[in-house]
Structure 1
Amino acid sequence: MRLIETSGLTVRYGRKDALVDVDFHIDRGEIVTLVGPNGSGKSSLVRALVGAIPPFKGNVKRKNGLRIGYVPQKLHIDPTLPISVKRFLGLPKRKPSATIEAALASADVAHIGDSQMTNLSGGQFQRVLLARALLENPDLLLLDEATQGLDQPGAAAFYRKIEDVRTELGCAVLMVSHDLHVVMSASDRVVCVNGHVCCHGTPDIVASAPEYRALFGSGTGGALALYRHQHTHSHDDGCDHDHDHSQANSAEKEGADA
């Protein structure tokens, strides 16, 4: 079932186009990773998909009654504010205890319900945000650079959990990033954006590549990925280009973590 589909979508701020002529879709049960550099229009596309901004041209079609669960990159909580995980998940509208406990269990953090939010590790905090997104049994789970700040094993574990959630709920997952190295092994499609859709396709997994093993460490192979795509489209030089790209961004990731 198609959850969201855009046709010829253009997003404009003032006189500047953030996105031009974007055709995009995401179906129930698939995982799509949206990649692109800072300022490429990823956030604009996401905002248009969920209806936060109107298209300047083109259209966006959404499934009637579409439920979206959102996991942000980060969320600031006043460190002086005493609030437990369960109470946090009950805001702003109280939820039944059984619903909260089920969401925590789905996020693999059932044991921290009585913990203070300010005492959580980075990985635990992101799992709680995931649990919050799962409370409404979403059709589409949207993750906006949700592993920023996590170490490599923590990010890999989080990706594997997302695969499990997709299987358990049958929902679609849209992951957003600016770095190709976060393309996860479970992604069905990768969409590369830089003001327009540069390319899209399926990622190839390279679990045996030594540079990737060194990057992620042993036992975290679920997130090892190679970005590969084939496409034909016009660039600013007016020519059509056929591409088959494979990019291993281990050096970039190591530099980011330094």
Structure 2
Amino acid sequence: MSLIRADHVSLAYGRQTVLSDVSLAIEPGEIVTLVGPNGSGKSSLVKVLTGQIRPDAGQVRRKPELRLGYVPQKLAIDQSLPMTVLRFLNLPRRRDPEAIRRAAAETGIEGLEQRQVADLSGGQMQRVLLARALLVSPELLILDEPTQGLDQPGEAAFYRHLERLRDSLGCAVFMVSHDLHVVMSASDRVICLNHHVCCEGTPKVVRDAPEYRALFGQGTQGALALYQHDHDHHHHDHEHDHQGHDHA
């Protein structure tokens, strides 16, 4: 049984169609990456899947009692508010200290528990948000642009970390990528969204799909780069570093 399934989902804000007849399913244990240009409906689709928004048409079905861990795109925390990482992890209710210890170990944030949330770097904050999502022992982890604001080495490290988590926890991962051109090489499937599903398949299938190339341009700018497992090669895609950060 699929963990989560969207059937013919449509959504509009006023007269603007955001999602049009979108269908997808996420199966246990798989890594699925969602890519698409700015304003293509990616975050709206996440909100529909997580139950934050009701679609205008179609339906979303979740496995009964699905344990869902969610890492939001950005969390606005009042910088003047004193809050330690440990206190943040215990919101909205107290968690088992052993569960917190395990989540901290799994995400590499041991030693940060007494630090102020406002003092964390972007990468540290992402790992804290990930640790908080792991506290529910998720069967499905949904991450909305989790590497936005990280540099490429930070992005690669985060992807490798997610891969290890999937292997150790056995959870499925559904991740929205902010960079059209770089997806996690461990993705079982890539779904390309531009208000509707343009194409989907393995990363290599999507990279070669005419719909993907039509949407994102030909040549190097339209090529889909994969973060590989080996650590001894150099990334030549620095021209992409400053793209995709102009979110409206």
TM-score tier, shorter chain, comes to: 0.7 to 0.9
Q: Note closer, same or farther for the CA distance 1:153–1:15 as it changes in structure 2 (3 Å cut).
A: same
Question: How is 1:16-165 mapped onto 2 (pairs within 5 angstroms)?
Answer: 16-165=16-165
Amino acid corresponding to residue 140 of structure 1 in structure 2: L
Which residue does 2:195 correspond to in 1? 195
CA-to-aligned-CA distance 1:90-145 (integer Å, 9 cap, x gap)? 11201121111111111111222222222222211111111001011112111111
Q: Note closer, same or farther for the CA distance 1:257–1:151 as it changes in structure 2 (3 Å cut).
A: farther
Residue in structure 2 matching 1:228, options 191, 198, 207:
207
- Identity over aligned residues, as a percent? 57
CA distance in 2, matches of 1:52, 1:77: 20
CA distance in 2, matches of 1:198, 1:10: 15
Q: Note closer, same or farther for the CA distance 1:101–1:113 as it changes in structure 2 (3 Å cut).
A: same
Q: CA deviation at 1:43?
A: 1.7
Q: CA deviation at 1:168?
A: 1.4
Which residue does 1:242 correspond to in 2? none
Amino acid corresponding to residue 123 of structure 2 in structure 1: G
Q: CA deviation at 1:231?
A: 7.2
CA distance in 1, matches of 2:126, 2:178: 19
- Contact between 1:163 and 1:186, CA under 8 Å: does it hold in 2? yes
- Contact between 2:147 and 2:178, CA under 8 Å: does it hold in 1? no
Q: CA deviation at 1:251?
A: 5.6
TM-score, normalising length: structure 2:
0.83
Q: Secondary structure at the match of 1:88?
A: helix
Root-mean-square deviation (Å): 2.5
Q: Runs in 1 of length 4+ with deviation above 3 angstroms?
A: 229-233, 245-249, 254-258
CA-to-aligned-CA distance 1:181-230 (integer Å, 9 cap, x gap)? 331111110000001100011114xxxxxxxxxxxxxxxxxxxxx96244
CA distance in 2, matches of 1:12, 1:51: 16
More strand by share: 1
Q: Secondary structure at the match of 2:3?
A: strand
CA-to-aligned-CA distance 1:127-168 (integer Å, 9 cap, x gap)? 111100101111211111111111111111111111111111
Amino acid corresponding to residue 182 of structure 2 in structure 1: V
- Contact between 2:68 and 2:140, CA under 8 Å: does it hold in 1? yes
Question: How is 1:244-255 mapped onto 2 (pairs within 5 angstroms)?
Answer: 246-248=223-225, 250=237, 252-255=239-242
Q: CA deviation at 1:247?
A: 3.6
CA distance in 2, matches of 1:24, 1:231: 20
CA distance in 2, matches of 1:34, 1:166: 17
Amino acid corresponding to residue 133 of structure 2 in structure 1: A
Which residue does 1:256 correspond to in 2? 243
Q: Note closer, same or farther for the CA distance 1:157–1:16 as it changes in structure 2 (3 Å cut).
A: same
TM-score, normalising length: structure 1:
0.80
Q: Secondary structure at the match of 1:111?
A: coil
Higher mean alpha-carbon deviation, 67-76 vs 26-35, is at: 67-76
Long gaps (5+) in structure 1: 205-225, 236-244
Which residue does 1:9 correspond to in 2? 9
Q: CA deviation at 1:44?
A: 1.9
